[in-house]
A = this chain, B = another copy of it.
Amino acid sequence: MTDMDIFEKQAFGKKLGIGHRAAVLVIDFQVGFTSDAKFGGYNINDAIANTVDLLAAAREVNMPVAHVRFIAQQGGFDIGPFGEKVPNLRELTADNPDSAFVTTVAPIAGEYVAEKRHASAFFGTTLSSWIISNNVDTLFIAGCTTSGCVRAAAVDASAYGLRPMVVADCVGDRAQGPHEFALWDLSQKYADIMSLAEVKQYMQTLEMAVAA
Using a CB–CB cutoff of 8 Å, the interface residues on chain A facing chain B are 3, 6-7, 9-14, 16-17, 19-21, 36, 38-39, 41-42, 73-75, 77-78, 80-82, 84-88, 109-110, 112-115, 117-120, 123-126, 128-137, 147-148, 152, 155-156, 158-164, 174-178, 181, 185, 188-191
In the bound complex, how far is the Cα of B83 from the Cα of A161, in angstroms? 10
- Could you say how many copies of this chain the assembly holds? 4
A82–B190 CB distance below 8 A: yes
Write out the residue numbers on chain B whose beta carbons fall within 8 Å of the beta carbon of A3.
Answer: 175-178
Residues from chain B with Cβ under 8 Å of A16 in the complex: 81, 84-85
Do B124 and A129 touch (CB < 8 A)? yes
A162 CA to B14 CA, complexed, in Å: 31
B112 close to A175 (CB less than 8 A)? no
B129 contacts A159, C-beta separation under 8 Å: yes
Taking a contact as CB atoms closer than 8 A, the residue among B75, B124, B155 that contacts A152 in the complex is B155
- With contacts A3-B177, A21-B135 taken as known, whether A39 is within 8 angstroms of B14 at the C-beta atoms is no
Report the minimal beta-carbon distance from A92 to chain B, rounded to whole angstroms.
13
A36–B158 Cα distance when bound, in Å, is: 25
- Chain B neighbourhood of A161, CB < 8 A: 80-81, 126, 128-134
CB-defined contacts of A159 to chain B, threshold 8 Å? 82, 118-120, 123-124, 126, 129
